[in-house]
């Protein structure tokens, strides 16, 4: 193995999982990120060397003097004017994209890859835990922090399996050749990369055609894979469908009951029903993702009893339907939803769970291009709220686009109560309101307000 790994953007969720892998394997891991976070602090505590100033002078001497024994790992999100990136480029270092490195790690493993424009992080994490709790085990690279593992990386030296989140951004998932693939959704997204919805779907078809011979495709019912049916058949790929409760699917929930605040489920499979599954995570979106994860786990050797036992202790993912406050007076949930379809699914689940309560949503749009491309769809989803607080766009890797602001969403939202707010004034605004169910949603830096909001609402709930 290469002696040194240098990550530009080491604090990213996918990058940090790779960094943890190489660190655990005994390599020296270094990196840069724009800002410190809880995750980067954890990486430093695990022995990695990280700095937060983009400067050639900050690159450690060991990296500068060991070009032949260093691999530099980057993401597509790194700006092209990044000084450190340009140093490595000019000096002939081996530079690999994160997705390429992940693909190389997965080459000799039985890979379970979960793709989809939404639902993939929860489904990947659920699949990992179900496999981990079975006799098969799995290694895993996750797109979020699993509450069961308190990490986005899982190591199991005794398992031949590796479970990974397959990211469609920048066509990253084309570096993967899985034994089993789950595809949860193929909605229009990342149109700054793809241009059209048709190109997004074509990219998922390419990913599906990379499933290894005698492998398995599991997809949500309703997704159309007819155009590549012959390609899949040539490789003897088995195809299964899943759904929440659609009886025409191969895997679905035959019954969903709520007892003592948790779901009690009966899962239909091609090999018979598995009943009395206790599942404590809220929202039917989570149940649907659990169906997909169960399908992958059972197909890869987990037993019905192992599935039941794991489901009872499954804790979910940080920032995925994450309940922070639950008092008789107020409920606060944080979620990563940042696409109109994700928002709609989140809001509908909340409405079903807390019928009759006023739902206040705080949304931070993510990316100028996504806001521009889906302004009307965002407005439709946000109109499902009783009250909207809309923040400014989080730009991430993008420069501003003239005329594209949160206002182009705001103007078309039809809920009775709506207002725009600077994030710096959010806590002050919330303190003036009578709140029942509060949601924060978005993929930017809105998560930095989770703790202050939690503290505010806990105090309000105790008044």
pLDDT over 70 for what percent of the chain? 99
Tell me the pLDDT tens digit for each residue of 242-278. Answer: 999 999 999 999 999 988 778 999 999 999 999 999 9
Domain boundaries, the chain: 4-98, 107-313, 322-461
Specify the fold of 107-313. Answer: 3.40.1190
Neighbours of 366 (CB within 10 A): 23
Alpha carbons 104 and 184: distance in angstroms, whole number: 24
- Per-residue pLDDT at 462: 59
- Per-residue pLDDT at 438: 97
- Per-residue pLDDT at 463: 59
Give CATH superfamily name and number for 322-461: Mur ligase, C-terminal domain (3.90.190.20)
Tell me the pLDDT tens digit for each residue of 299-321. Answer: 999 999 999 999 999 998 988 88
Write out the chain in H/E/C secondary structure: CCCEEEEECCCCHHHHHHHHHHHHCCCEEEEECCCCCHHHHHHHHCCCEEECCCCHHHCCHHHHCCHHHEEEEECCCCCCCCHHHHHHHHCCCEEEEHHHHHHHHHCCCEEEEEECCCCHHHHHHHHHHHHHCCCCCCEEEEEEEECCCCEEEECCCCCCEEEEEECCHHHHHHHCCCCEEEECCCCCCCHHHHCCHHHHHHHHHHHHHCCCCCCEEEEECCCCCHHHHHHHHHCCCEEEEECCCCCCCCEEEEEEEEECCEEEEEEEECCEEEEEEEECCCCHHHHHHHHHHHHHHHHCCCCHHHHHHHHHHCCCECCCCEEEEECCCCEEEEECCCCHHHHHHHHHHHHHHCCCCCEEEEECCECHHHHHHCHHHHHHHHCCCCEEEECCCECCCCCCCCCCCCHHHHCCCCCCEEEECCHHHHHHHHCCCCCCEEEEECCCCHHHHHHHHHHHHHHHHCC
**pTM listed for this prediction:** 0.84
Q: For residue 153, what are the β-bridge partners?
A: 141
Instruction: Give the architecture (CATH level 2) of 4-98.
Output: 3-Layer(aba) Sandwich (3.40)
Residue 275 burial by Cβ neighbours in a 10 Å radius (0-12, 13-18, 19+) = middle
φ, ψ (nearest 5 deg) of residue 138: -165, 150
Q: Which two tokens stand for residue 340?
A: 């109109």
Whether 107-313 shares its CATH topology with 322-461 is answered: no
Q: Tens-digit pLDDT profile for the chain (463 aa)?
A: 789 999 999 999 999 999 999 999 999 999 999 889 889 999 999 999 999 999 999 999 999 999 999 999 998 888 889 999 999 999 999 999 999 999 999 998 999 999 999 899 999 999 999 999 999 999 999 999 999 999 999 999 899 999 999 999 889 999 999 999 999 999 988 888 899 999 999 999 999 999 999 999 999 999 999 999 999 999 999 999 999 999 999 999 999 998 877 899 999 999 999 999 999 898 888 999 999 999 999 999 999 999 999 999 999 898 888 889 988 899 999 998 998 988 998 999 899 888 899 999 999 999 999 999 999 999 999 999 999 999 999 998 788 999 999 999 999 999 999 999 999 999 999 999 999 999 999 988 999 999 999 999 988 755 5
- Per-residue pLDDT at 163: 98
């Amino acid at each position: 193995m290469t002696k040194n790994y240098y990550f530009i953007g080491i604090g990213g969720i996918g990058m940090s999982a790779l960094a943890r892998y190489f660190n655990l394997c005994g390599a020296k891991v270094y990196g840069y990120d724009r800002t410190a976070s809880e995750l980067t602090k954890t990486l430093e505590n695990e022995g990695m060397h990280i700095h937060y100033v983009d400067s050639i002078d900050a690159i450690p001497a060991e990296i500068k003097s060991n070009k032949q024994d260093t691999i530099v790992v980057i993401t597509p999100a790194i700006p092209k004017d990044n000084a450190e990136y340009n140093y490595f480029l000019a000096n002939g270092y081996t530079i690999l994209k994160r997705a390429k490195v992940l693909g190389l790690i997965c080459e000799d493993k039985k890979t379970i890859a979960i793709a989809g424009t939404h639902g993939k992080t929860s489904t990947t994490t659920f699949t990992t835990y179900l496999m981990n709790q079975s006799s098969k085990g799995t290694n895993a690279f996750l797109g979020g922090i699993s509450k069961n593992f308190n990490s986005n990386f899982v190591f199991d030296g005794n398992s031949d399996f590796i479970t990974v989140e397959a990211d469609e951004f920048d066509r990253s998932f084309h570096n993967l050749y899985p034994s089993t693939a789950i595809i949860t959704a193929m909605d229009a997204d990342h149109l700054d990369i793809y241009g059209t919805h048709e190109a997004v779907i074509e990219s998922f078809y390419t990913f599906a055609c990379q499933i290894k011979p005698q492998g398995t495709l599991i997809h949500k019912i309703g997704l159309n894979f007819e155009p590549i049916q012959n390609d899949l058949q040539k490789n003897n790929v088995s195809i299964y469908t899943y759904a929440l409760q659609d009886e025409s699917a191969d895997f679905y929930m035959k019954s969903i009951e709520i007892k003592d605040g948790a779901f009690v489920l009966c899962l239909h499979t091609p090999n018979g029903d598995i009943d009395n599954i206790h599942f404590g995570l809220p929202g039917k979106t989570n149940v649907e993702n659990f169906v997909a994860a169960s399908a992958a786990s059972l197909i890869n050797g987990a037993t019905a009893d192992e599935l039941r036992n794991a489901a009872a202790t499954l804790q979910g993912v940080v920032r995925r339907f994450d309940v922070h406050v639950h008092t008789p007076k107020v409920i606060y949930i944080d979620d990563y939803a940042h696409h109109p379809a994700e928002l709609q699914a989140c809001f509908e689940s909340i409405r079903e769970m807390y019928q009759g309560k006023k739902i206040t949503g705080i949304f931070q749009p993510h990316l100028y291009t996504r806001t521009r491309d889906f302004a009307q769809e965002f407005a439709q989803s946000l109109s499902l709220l009783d009250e909207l607080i809309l923040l400014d766009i989080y730009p991430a890797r993008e420069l501003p686009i003239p005329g594209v602001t949160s206002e182009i969403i705001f103007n078309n939202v039809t809920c009775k109560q709506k207002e725009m707010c600077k994030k710096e004034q959010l806590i002050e605004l919330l303190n003036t309101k009578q709140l029942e169910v509060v949601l924060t949603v978005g993929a930017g830096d809105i998560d930095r307000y989770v703790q202050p909001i939690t503290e505010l609402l806990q105090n309000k709930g105790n008044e």
